[in-house]
Amino acid sequence: MDASTPAPPTSPSARDWSHRPAAVALAGMLALAVAMGVGRFAFTPLLPMMLHDGVVTLTEGSWLATANYVGYLVGALACMALPWLLPRLYERWHPARLARAGLVATVLLTLAMALPLPDSWPALRFAAGVASAFVLLNTAAWAMVRLTVLGRPAMGGLIFCGPGVGIALTGLATSLMVQAQWRAASGWVVFGLLSVLLCLVVWPVVQGRAAKAQAGAAHAPAAAARAAGGGAAAARGVHALAYGLAGLGYIVTATFLPVIARGALPAGSPWPDLFWPMFGAGVAVGAALSTRAPTRWDRRWLLVAAYAMQAGGIGIGLWWPTPAGFALSSILLGLPFTAITFYGLQEARRLWPASADSFASLITAVYGLGQIMGPPMVAWLLARGGQAQGFAQGLALAAAALVAGALMYLASVWRWPLVR
């Protein structure tokens, strides 16, 4: 080849992992494994260890969980407001950068929980909640748009396997640590180091802009109004409230499952430490299955089915408190967990495509409000009626919230049918 012959262009996929759909989906999945499986939910399997170590009481553990959920709400609200209030900053700090910053914060905050400074733990859990919201929303925004640009939008659901992967990993690791009689502080260190390893895979992929196409944006509000049958604002409000009820519906189990199982099963049973990994496995499988739903299906019907499955899972755990009952309950709660997030975000984009990222942050904030209500409600019920009765009443209220959310989606389908 002489000097006048132009060199063949280098394929973008050969030099940039963000041009490979499989790499984008894997990186998104692992980012959520860090943010959600570790940053938010590693506390659940570690709580019994912290109780055993005597570093917290059950009431204090409830408030630590609440601090994390408040942080998640604040993070979601910040993500919603940033494009509107600070558009120039958002131009520079686009979703990929915000997601990476959130991952760094998650690693540092997880490691800091190992320090014997209990007075700082509420602030650390709050900050971890903020970071997890930033990673979830910005990773989802970047990866789903990126996969659409690459012509593989159906792979977007795979990133929501991440929380399940993280929950399963931390749950199984905690089970081994309990058997080895480790202290909870060692668990926080292990999970911090695990997060570092997962971030090494994420870093080369989640970078740069997702190259979101703007074609047709001018017609998006009108399209949203047609999709909602002329009641766009009301349909959005119903979706936000119904989605928020899912936050209350799952959070009691997601915070206290190992503690509840330990109280219901005989002392020394090996099962309580395994139900949380079962929940995580269900989350991962359910997220993968959610990608198989045809795009023509109304997401509200899928949300009705998901809410009903979670409510049924809670009911089984209440009425059949045995190893088999808790195992089935954990799986039924886990299967639709992040599928609800995936379908909820898809429904948000359908209802308000012109402001999809901000509306997704808004419904995530309402979901966060639902989460915040759960642990204080349980703490009050425990103080009022004791552990067995308090947990039973809390779970019953959580199941009722899911039933109410399902009914709201049924009403939405009837009032605002899809216009094909």
CB 85 within 8 A of CB 361: no
Residue 12 inside a domain? The answer is no
Q: CA 384 → CA 24, 183, 263, 271, 398, distances in Å?
A: 49, 31, 17, 28, 18
Residue 11 inside a domain? The answer is no
Residue 6 inside a domain? The answer is no
CB 317 within 8 A of CB 326: yes
d(CA 283, CA 185): 26
- Give the chain's domain count: 1
d(CA 20, CA 23): 5
Residue 302 inside a domain? The answer is yes
Q: Provide the 10 A C-beta neighbour count for residue 268.
A: 6
Q: pLDDT value at position 50?
A: 96
CATH of the domain at 204: 1.20.1250.20
Q: pLDDT value at position 263?
A: 87
Residue 316 inside a domain? The answer is yes
Residue 3 inside a domain? The answer is no
Task: Look up residue 416 and give its DSSP letter.
Answer: S
The distance of Cα 180 from the centroid of its chain, to the nearest Å, equals 30
Q: Write the single-letter amino acid at 283.
A: V
Q: pLDDT value at position 231?
A: 65
CB 402 within 8 A of CB 245: yes
Domain that holds residue 380: 17-209+220-415
Residue 72 inside a domain? The answer is yes
Q: Which residues of the chain have pLDDT under 70?
A: 1-15, 211-231, 420
Query: 309-339: per-residue pLDDT in tens?
Result: 999 999 999 999 999 999 999 999 999 998 9
Q: pLDDT value at position 6?
A: 43
Q: pLDDT value at position 420?
A: 65
Token look-up 């942080």 returns 71
Q: pLDDT value at position 214?
A: 43
Q: pLDDT value at position 332?
A: 96
Angle at 363 (CA atoms; ends 357, 366), nearest 5 degrees: 145
Q: pLDDT value at position 217?
A: 39
Determine if the pTM surpasses 0.85.
Answer: no
Q: pLDDT value at position 93?
A: 81
